[in-house]
Every structure is written in C-alpha cells, then in structure tokens.
A and B are shown apart, each in its own frame.
Chain A
C-alpha cells in the first residue's frame, strides 16, 4: 500500500466513545499488539469497513507496521476491506444447516433481495443496488440445533423458512 493511497483517503480517528473503550482495552494486554482484534472490531463498527486510513490509524495506535495490520485484516473473514450494506446477512451453509434446507433460505434471500452472494474478494457482488443489504454465505454459526440460521448484523434468527425470512426482513 503506497503512501499516496493513504493520503487520498479521509483520515480516520476514533470518536470519543470508542477512544474511551480503546483506552480501557489497551490496558488488558502486556503488549499493545495483542489488542489488534478488539481494536479492529471497534474501528470497523465506526467506519463500516477497514479502509487503508483505518489500518494506518490502528497501526499507529498499536505501534506496529501498517503491513502487519493488513496481514491480520486479510486473514479474518469478519473484517471487510470493501463497503458493505447497512445490514450484513450471513447465511450459514455448513452441513447441519444444509441438512435442514438452508439452500431454500439462501435462494429465497437471493430472489427477494435480487442480488448474488458476496465472495470474500468481491463484497460488491452480494450488495444490493441501494446499498442496504449484503448477502454472504458463512461457515457454521454454532446453532445447529435451530438450523437453518442466519445472522443479520449482530442478531441470530433461528429455524428459518422462506416465510420467516420475509418476516425478519420486514421487521428490520
């Protein structure tokens, strides 16, 4: 990532609330770098996704290189490097959900939102034109007893059928 690229981005800084939370976080670890994941979660919550400016900011906070932050961001599926919709819909498609027809739920969501499924390298593919939803498949969400499940942002919805999916989307 070149310096130029970082400069054309809007600079990023934590707001007061997140700064407070960060100050509390950093005291938990004997080395600053260890606060990487919680800090990136905070930053993503504020910025929507991890921009190069966010990486630069986090790197300065944790006293590591930008490359090291990038290294971590690219490893974990929960960090986005591209803009995502207001609601991120994660559809579990691992075996226990597959045995309970998660494909029906996924196809229904695809038709209803009129979008494809996002891939990790192309989130725009699964984002609706109005930028409201991003549809993605994820691996096991550890709720196999109430399969099929989806997660909409932070909330888990269980035992889904196409009708229940409609209900969930209407209530957002």
Chain B
C-alpha cells in the first residue's frame, strides 16, 4: 500500500500550530530566513523553476515559468493568493487556512521576496468564516512579530498581506475573475492575453497562485530542489526532440470524497493510480467502483476500466481528463450517472457568470436536457430512420434496416460541444468555464451511454450494473488515446 508522505500537512494536527510560537517551534519562518540570508531573489525563482512545481489550483501550469513572464521593471507588482476553493470535491485549502495559516504566510513571504512584491491579497471564499478568522489572526501576529510590514527583520523588505473575502461566486476562482472581483466588480473573467502576469489587478503585473502552490515554497527552499524533485514521476514529453522532461514533482493534497470508507485529504506523491488512492482512503464503500471523477467536478469522468490511470498532471491529460484541483469523487455501483450529471449541470447552470452567450444559454440548456432525461421524458422517440449503406441489390441506398436515434443525447452533445468542443479543445467562451461544463457533460454521456439510453428507453432513471452501464474500452473515446508515458529516467 502506498504510504502517505506528509509535508504540507505534517504539522497540521499539532495543537495551536496556528499560533506563531508553536509554528516557530516546528521550523516556522526558518525557510523564509534561509531564503533571504542565502539566496538572491532570482535564485529563488530559478529554484522554483528547477523544482518543476506545477500550480495546484487546476490548470497545472509551471509556477516557475509563470513567474518568468512577470516583467521585473514594472512596479508595483501584486500577488493574489487564490483561496476561493469552490470546485466541488476539493477541500484541502480549507484545512491549511483553518489550522496552519502561518505556513501560507511563509510561502507568500518567499514568493514576495523572489518576485519583489510588496502587496499580497488573499482572496478567501466568503463561506470560509473560520478560515478567515484564523488567517486574520495569524496575519496580525506576523505583523506583531516583525515578519510582515515594513523592513522585515532589518532586511529592507516590505510585505503587506490583506485578506479579501469573496461572496459565494464559483467563477471568482478563475484567475481573471478573481482579479475583477478583487477590484470590486462582478467576477466576470477577462480576455486573455494580456495575462495577469503582464496586466492583472489594478492593471499591474500580478502573480496569481493557489494556496497549496504557495505552501510548497517553504519546503523547496528549506530542503532544496534535489530533495523536491525526487518525489513524483518525471516523464518524457516525446512531442519534442529530444524528449523534454515533464515534471510532476512533489506531493499533492488529494481530496477524496464520495463512496469511500475514509474520505479526507491525503498527502501523497503525485503519480499513484486511482485504485491505490481508493485503497489509501480506506477502500470502497460498496461492491464495485462505477466511476471516478479525478479532478473536481469539471474533470471528465473515468470508468472502471480506467482505474489504472495515474493521478498526475501528465497522465490524466493523456487520458483526456485532468488532475485539476485534485478533488477525487468516487461512485459505487448503486449510483446513477444520469442523476450525477444532473447534479453537476445544475451546479454549472447556477454558477455561469453570464458574460458569454454560449455559456449563459448553453449551461441551462444542457441542464434542462439532462433534467428531461432524468425525469423520464427524454426525447427517445427511439425514432428509427433508414440506415444507408450497400443495399441487397448491391447499390448504395436504403438497406432496409433501421437505426435507433436518441435525439436528446445527440442534442446534449451538440449543445455542450458548442459551448466548448471537447475533441478539438477549443472554447467559444472567454474563460475555461465553458470546457468545465462540456467536459463532464460529454464524457459522462459518451462513457456511460448505455445507461443514458436505458433511461430514455424506459422513461425512468435506470441504474444498470457497472459492466453494462459502461461502454467497453474499445469504444471509449478517451481510452483509445491513453497511454502510460515512459518514465524519463528509462530513456
């Protein structure tokens, strides 16, 4: 069985770790002190780049690379810490904020030092009242102890951290939506480019990082790049010649919920399989795994045939899914996929910000189609239309056979693909919310088509046994392209 490796969460359960004194006993702020004493800001940025740290918020973009886009000569530059954790199935940041907020502050200090940033806003979810209270107390304490404010520890470094509460909008977790919201407007994402690294909050260069990403920084600085890169697999990206190393280094706070015996946050090296993760989380609650959502509700679903997929950024991308924010939701054999999709589509229809027409109208439309199917009114018509092909007389024409048509399933796919096309990975919206809608809609429908068809045919929700509900691997659009990449070391 895979062992947990607690780094970010190591001292999470130490009593009073949220206070400065106790945090200090566990090496608190020593990594920041090491950073300012031993390294130049550029060296820290280089270390982060070398460590291969990928952003933990969802997109999985290399943190070091993101930092390299920030022009160093335009000041002020801002850091926005994204603590607007609202992806269904994700809950790891909440624990950091509630139990160990000083770790986040230390990570922010290191980032600020590396990037020459003086002001940080922590955009925290409006619902995280306890988290905000603990964070505000920790910030206050850090100011009192001289780790925040002007001329920190006599180094001439100035850093201010402010917490900024959100107000319940999912879209504010998108980086430009967050920036708009921080500026006191509706949280409607901006067109990119310009990317926030060039023009972000208050029209200044802005680094936007997730809580978990920032919490990794003290450990990269404290223990060194070599130590960090030992954890997790590094693959060869064979699209480049010679193959470029594709790092999935470090640990990930996997949030597992749904039908497992011990749901919770598990800190593990990147790159374990779904099966292993379910085992770590106390095993499955139920008889059989029906489906797994690997990266928050936006991620395309995995069937029981795909449970050997490794949960890291590269492998999941190849499996046409994503690690996203690492929220894994497990469903057992009793679950109805149509019902699950309905739940998720209600979420997206509610959370669409209304800025782009395909999303504003498409999300409720998709929801209504799924609702109709779930209610038993799916437009089956199982209409039959003549099947064209080589007929008996050897000529092209009506073969005399008929084809069953599930009108609503075709419509569902068409509407979803017009918000964002999952095959070509292009979206007709400003932000990636579009793809977050069509990914689940299309993947659930394609991978569990027999269950959708049965529901339409019978006129009521039908939960098929796992093997019957799932399309076989050879018909699974994502399984075809899937391959487990070779470890870079093997080449």
Contacts and interface: CB of A to CB of B under 8 A. Distances in A.
Interface size range of chain B in the complex? 35 or more
A77 B250 CA distance: 36
Given A37-B184, A72-B185, A95-B340, A144 B263 contact: yes
B376 interface: no
Interface of A: 28, 30-31, 33-38, 40-41, 62, 64, 68, 71-72, 75-79, 90, 93-96, 98-100, 138-147, 151, 154-156
A144 B183 contact: no
B129 A154 contact: yes
A112 B257 CA distance: 28
Interface in B235-265: 255-259, 263-265
A146 B263 CA distance: 8
A5 B369 CA distance: 41
Interface of B: 85-91, 93-94, 125-130, 160, 162, 164-170, 181-187, 202, 255-259, 263-265, 293, 297, 327, 329, 331, 335, 340, 343-344, 347, 350-351, 353
Nearest to A143: B91
26 contacts: A38-B164, A76-B166, A77-B167, A78-B167, A79-B167, A94-B88, A95-B88, A95-B89, A95-B293, A96-B88, A96-B257, A99-B329, A99-B331, A139-B88, A139-B347, A140-B88, A140-B347, A142-B85, A142-B90, A142-B125, A144-B91, A144-B327, A144-B329, A145-B255, A146-B263, A154-B130
A138 B346 CA distance: 11
B86 A140 contact: yes
Contact of B257 (A71, A138, A145, A155): A145
Contact of B184 (A36, A41, A77, A139): A36
Given A78-B168, A99-B331, A142 B185 contact: no
Contacts of A139: 86, 88, 170, 347, 350-351
Closest 4 CB pairs of A and B: A36-B184, A76-B167, A144-B257, A78-B168
User: Most B CB atoms within 10 A — which of A41, A142, A143?
Assistant: A142
A155 B265 CA distance: 21
